[in-house]
Structure 1
Amino acid sequence: MFVKLRIGLALLCVAVGLGLMVPFAYLGVKTGLYQPRRIRRWCNGLILRALGFRVHVTGEISKSRPLLVAANHVSWTDVMVLGSFNDVAFIAKSEMARWPLIGGLTRLQGCIFVERDRKRKSGEQANEIASRLASGDAMVLFAEGTTGDGNLLLPFKSTLFGAANLALAEGGADKVFIQPVAISYTRLHGLPMGRQHRAIAAWIGDQDLVPHIKDLLAEGAIDVEVHFGEPLEFSAGSSRKETARAVEEHVRAMMQQALRDPKR
């Protein structure tokens, strides 16, 4: 009974809050009359509070531009976590645009949806990413290319770092800054998560979204840590593969530190 009541109250809170805030964010995006950055952060924070999440941050997003933020990926909630305290946009797979609720929220955050299997659109999408980077937007790239289980980091895909090359070629910049970021789900009801418990927060592969949202609402009280590393410089002579490996190593080290010694 208590779980059903918690889920009902959380959904009501999200529905009322988004009903008030989303129209203003949508108007800002469509008209360009104002930047709905604060509204976006409020929307993300509202969802996280409804889920019972607490976010702990170490470091900060770099002020250097053009900036590509390379992060690991555990769940759809990663977008809300990063977007709750930063003005960032995301590079995401096109399927995300069709997800209920999440698709609409990511659109409002200026997400670029990449259709990886449609080569005709790849050039157009690449140009948009390069343009956004060159204009000063901090773009978040989930460099594993998929979600992991929160315990181990998957290899970073060097091809995804092509956005940095494009910013150099199309945006006229002489270098791009790539900042490693680690997202770790560390505590459940105040207690450190074990390997088996991190599956509660992780959203992997073709897992149905709605049941996962329901499980998170029923569980609640999850702590998540975000660690920002020092940005690496990427220039015309830089190797994508070497850069991907270096960023991956930084993210892995921060992720393992968070899992070993979670914050309270």
Structure 2
Amino acid sequence: MSAWLPTAPCTPRACVETTTAARAVPRAVLRLTGVALLLLAGLALSPLGARVPANAVRRWCRWIVRAAGVRVRITGGPVPAGGVLLVANHISWLDVPLLAAVRPARMLAKTEVRHWPVAGALAARGGTLFIDRDRLRALPDTVARIAGALREGTAVAAFPEGSTWCGRAQGPFRRAVFQAALDAGAPVQPVRIAYRLDPGTASTAPAFVGDDTLLASVWRVATARGLVAEVEVRPAIPPRGVPDRRALARAAQQHTAPFPARPHAVLMA
């Protein structure tokens, strides 16, 4: 099995809460319409590239999550300027706009994402670094491309688990992406993501795991009520003083472990 193809034990049947109720359908349709309109607006503006202000991108990403019916709480920071590797635990498709709400970055994503409707085109135009996870020989080239982007002062965002988990547990961080940070002399910015139901109960409804389909996961989020995404920007890890990528991956993973308790947070619209 390829090093890019880790698996998680989480499955929709065993780990994920169901949310669908007949009375939730009209609300879900309105939410998904809002998400679709925002994605189409982003697609229309994507040819402008870097000319779109970073603050506008951050707000747009928050609006996407909010349009899906999920409130956003972001704490911690700030994120270092210049080239930085953002890494986070991976639970849901919502994680992508949440990371971009912290700081817009070139995403590291599997090649399959390129073929997703609307979102795939947005990812490609946004400079996403696509990984062919079936080709282990492509790994050194991928690491070199990430390091090159970091040296140019670009932020790169990745989910080093390589697979989504339900949020109750976490997979080990793969080390290759951290080699790129070491090669470029760039800091690593850990970000911890969790999903809860008010007033603070952990929720697995947003999880996108196992043989779940994207459509089923999106519908589950849209029909849920009271979902909150909690995003904590942890202290950045400088590249100096870290002996190797194994130690760097371990340090980043410790910063993104599941929340021990609900932190004080500021609610972002």
TM range (shorter): 0.7 to 0.9
Q: Equivalent residue for 2:199?
A: 191
Deviations 1:74-102 (A, max 9, x none): 11110011213422221122222222333
Verify: 1:152 aligned to 2:169, yes or no: yes
Shift of 1:54: 1.1
SS at structure 2 position matched to 1:23:
helix
Q: Which residue of 1 aligns with 2:121?
A: 104
| RMSD between aligned residues | 2.5
Residue 237 of structure 1: how far off its partner (Å): 6.9
AA at the equivalent of 1:201 = P
Gaps of 5+ in 1: 168-174
Q: What are the ranges of 5 or more consecutive residues in structure 2 without an aligned counterpart?
A: 1-21
Q: Which amino acid aligns with 2:86?
A: V
Tell me if the contact between 2:205 and 2:221 (Cα under 8 Å) persists in the aligned partners. yes
- Tell me, yes or no, if the aligned pair for 1:185 and 1:222 is still in contact at 8 Å: yes
Superposed displacement of residue 66, structure 1: 2.9
Matched-pair identity in %: 29
- Equivalent-residue separation in structure 1 for 2:171 and 2:28 (angstroms): 32
Q: Which moved more, 1:85-94 or 1:133-142?
A: 85-94
Aligned equivalents of 1:49, 1:237: Cα separation in 2 = 38
- Residue 109 of structure 2, aligned match among 55, 72, 92: 92
2:48 to 23, 28, 38: 28
- Given that 1:165 and 1:236 are in contact with CA atoms closer than 8 Å, whether structure 2 keeps it comes out as no
Q: Which has the higher contact order (CA 8 A, sep 6+)?
A: 2
User: Given the superposition, is the C-alpha separation of residues 114 and 246 from structure 1 closer, same or farther in structure 2, using an over 3 Å criterion?
Assistant: same
After TM superposition, give the deviation of residue 42 of structure 1 in Å.
4.5
| Distance in 2 (alpha carbons) for counterparts of 1:229 and 1:14 | 28
| Equivalent position amino acid for 2:29 in 1 | G
CA distance 1:112–1:215, change in 2 (3 Å): same
C-alpha contact 1:94 1:113 (8 A) present in aligned 2: yes
Q: Where does 1:42-191 land on structure 2 (aligned, <5 Å)?
A: 42-119=59-136, 121-167=138-184, 175-186=185-196, 188=197, 190-191=198-199
2:98 alignment partner AA:
V
Q: TM-score, normalised by structure 2?
A: 0.80
Question: After the TM superposition, which of the residue ranges 16-25 and 44-53 deviates more from structure 2?
Answer: 16-25
Q: Work out whether 1:256 is the aligned partner of 2:266.
A: no
Q: Does 1:245 align with 2:242?
A: no
1:192-247 CA distances to partner (integer Å, 9 max, x unpaired)?
224xxx22111113311111111111114311111112111224972111111122
Which position in structure 1 is the counterpart of 2:221?
216
The structure-2 alpha-carbon separation of the partners of 1:144 and 1:216, relative to structure 1 and needing over 3 Å to count, comes to same
Kept in 1: contact 2:143–2:176 (CA 8 A):
no
Q: Distance in 2 between matches of 1:218 and 1:212?
A: 10
Q: Which sits farther off after the overlay, 62-71 or 47-56?
A: 62-71
Q: Indicate if the aligned counterparts of 1:183 and 1:225 stay in contact, CA closer than 8 A.
A: yes
Partners in 1 of 2:177 and 2:102 — Cα distance?
25
Q: TM-score, normalised to structure 1's length?
A: 0.81
